[in-house]
């Protein structure tokens, strides 16, 4: 892969090549144990790298299963790897000279520390932290549609996602129009186990 530009200046041709970094790593959170790693390892492997995944110790089995399926499909040993543990594993990845790049998704304080320590060790670092998401409620908003959207945004996936709406700001008379209906809707939510056929909760367990 690359690009060639002929005669960019008198007697000068330019050719660029793209090369894999080598070994790259991903450190992933608990809330989306399959989705977030999927942002990382397929691209890394497609670009010719080997990948080390450090999943959250709270959800170790999801990617263990995925890697087993990859190996069963014929992926060579050592191309896709998994390491389980806490901070000691993260520090080892951040400090190891053979790890060229780190991708992280998680809380903002940890993202800052991983960025600091990874770049200090000469690595490329991609660190995505948390967010404070505001929902602006306008005075002319449709009551039923708005309160349903606010509820889903705040409590979907048990509220454990980066883009969960954690703060609602009412503009003008919006509070008087929307907040009573929102309070009624939220108070009617069912919370309970999601692994039973007879249970249809709006929100399941929180890690």
Catalytic residue numbers read 162
Cα dist from 177 to 91, 93, 134, 141, whole Å:
51, 52, 18, 9
Given a contact cutoff of 8 angstroms between Cβ atoms, the answer to whether 53 and 37 are in contact is: yes
Given a contact cutoff of 8 angstroms between Cβ atoms, the answer to whether 167 and 135 are in contact is: yes
The whole-angstrom separation of Cα 59 and Cα 33 is 7
The whole-angstrom separation of Cα 12 and Cα 5 is 9
- Please state the φ and ψ torsions of residue 87, each to the nearest 5 degrees: -60, -35
């Amino acid at each position: 892969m690359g690009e060639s530009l002929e005669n960019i200046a008198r007697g000068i041709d330019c050719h660029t090549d793209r090369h894999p970094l080598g070994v790259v790593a991903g450190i992933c959170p608990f809330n989306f144990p399959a989705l977030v790693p999927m942002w990382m390892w397929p691209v890394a492997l497609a670009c010719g790298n080997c990948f080390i995944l450090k999943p959250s110790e709270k959800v170790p089995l999801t990617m263990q299963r995925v890697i087993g399926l990859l190996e069963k499909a014929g992926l060579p040993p050592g191309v896709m790897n998994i390491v389980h543990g806490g901070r000691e594993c993260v520090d080892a990845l951040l400090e190891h000279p053979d790890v060229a790049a780190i991708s992280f998704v998680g809380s903002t304080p940890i993202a800052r520390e991983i960025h600091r320590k990874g770049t200090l060790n000469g690595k490329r670092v991609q660190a995505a932290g948390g967010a404070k998401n505001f929902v602006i409620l306008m005075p002319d908003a449709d009551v039923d549609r708005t309160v349903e959207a606010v509820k889903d945004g705040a409590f979907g996936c048990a509220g454990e996602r980066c883009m969960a709406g954690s703060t609602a700001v009412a503009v003008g008379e919006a509070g008087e129009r929307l907040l009573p209906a929102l309070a009624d809707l939220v108070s009617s939510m069912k919370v309970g186990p999601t692994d039973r056929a007879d249970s249809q909760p709006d929100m399941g367990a929180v890690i």
